Amino acid sequence: WKGTDPPPALAEGSDPAVANSAIEKLFPQFGTSSPAALQQLLSQRPSEVRTVRCNRYHSSAGGALLLGDAAHSTGGALGQGANSALQDVVQLARCLEKCTLERSGEAEVDMPAVLKEFSSTQVAEGLALFQLLQLPPKGPSGLFYQFVQLLLGALINIPGVGRFFPKPTQIMLSQSLTSFSEIVHKNQFWINMATKNIRVIHYEPEQ
């Protein structure tokens, strides 16, 4: 059903026999439901999905680091979960190399600097990934977005002409090394439309 209010026959506290009759009418292919299945259905309520976005991916004490889904869950719609985790690993390796010093002939890693450097680059990428996850926009504008993406997909394959057109978003995500932040920049118009109604709750960390 749409929204958060189920049909009266399927509302919490409804008579299982009434609910079974409603199911047989609405979904005849299901047949007759067992009493246990009906009871479980009637006890379930609509759920709400929330995404937590971190303002840093390391602990202030310098003892822990988040990467991959722990830092920026993607939900699977973009197919970028493993890719974004691997990008985190690559960036972490770069930070380790950048913050390694030679002292007395031995390599010494400045771990607090590594973690801070990692957060300074990857938090922006995690936010960009979250924004891309909101595509396409809801409503009629989403249909127009999909039409534009299909049109761009056709145009870029025209010899001698395709190089003048931007690549569709999914191609940039799956067939290029373009960063998430840059892809967001190239699709800022669509991103703004897709995220304008998103409700953000800010949580203050405990002291």
pLDDT tens-digit series, residues 145-169: 999 999 999 999 999 888 899 999 9
In the block, tokens 């939900």 appear at 75
Q: What is the pLDDT of residue 207?
A: 38
CA angle 173, 174, 178 (to 5 degrees): 45
Contact between 171 and 155 under an 8 Å Cβ cutoff? The reply is: no
Q: For 123-152, write each residue's pLDDT tens digit.
A: 999 989 988 988 899 889 999 999 999 999
Q: Specify whether the CB–CB gap between 88 and 67 falls below 8 A.
A: yes
CA–CA distance, 171 with 100 (Å, rounded to integer): 36
Q: Which residues pair with 102 in a beta bridge?
A: 107
pLDDT band at 23 (very low <50, low <70, confident <90, very high): confident
pLDDT at 206 over 50: no
Would you state the structure tokens that stand for residue 77, as one six-digit string?
């719609």
